Amino acid sequence: MRNVLFIFLFVGLCEAQTTSPFYSAPVAITYSINYSPAVNGGGFEPDLSSWTLIQNGSSTSTSDATTYTDGTHSCKLVIDGSNSAAGVYQVFAGMTGHTVYWSLKAKGTAGGGLRVGSDENSGHQSEFGVTADYQTYSGSFVAGDDYFEILRDGIDTGDTFYFDSVTMYYL
């Protein structure tokens, strides 16, 4: 479980006179939110069994034990070039309308990119380009449905992407 700490500081807007009847000293209020990362199997250990696969055309989503950042596996996407998608998703009842915060480590075909989000056809997502070496990427979006998905639509035959160490929570 993680603990996020928010500190709010309220300061009265008045003249800097302590004798004013409207003066109030600054007040600090501490508020914390406890949450557990929602993603199950974000390290892809030992396989993709906690994820539902997206494999259109002959694009593939597989577990890979040759390149990873944590543990012994990552998720590998290979795109077939027919503008078909490959990826993985999980469903979280009640996520729609909430702000989703995510982080993952990814690498892939230089110039290519991944999409993390929900409701892929209405802009509830984050898109980013990847490099040939693992980098950490993070972002947020407002969920358009209850699906948390990581995917790539491809037009370039053989584009390959790896990602690992996925975390996600929503508030």
Beta bridge partners of 33: 4
Range 112-142 burial, b when 16+ CB lie within 10 A, else e: bbbbbbbbbeeebbeeeebeeebeebeeebe
pLDDT at 147: 92
pTM score of the predicted model: 0.76
What is the predicted pLDDT for the residue at 156? Answer: 74
Cβ within 8 Å of residue 156, ≥6 positions away: 79, 81, 109, 112
**Domain annotation for the chain: domains and CATH numbers:** 2-35 (no CATH), 52-170 (2.60.120.260)
Tell me the per-residue pLDDT of 27-78, one tens digit each, with 9 for 90 and over: 666 555 555 568 889 999 999 999 999 888 888 999 999 999 989 999 999 9
User: What does the mean pLDDT of the chain come to?
Assistant: 80
* pLDDT greater than 90 at residue 107: yes
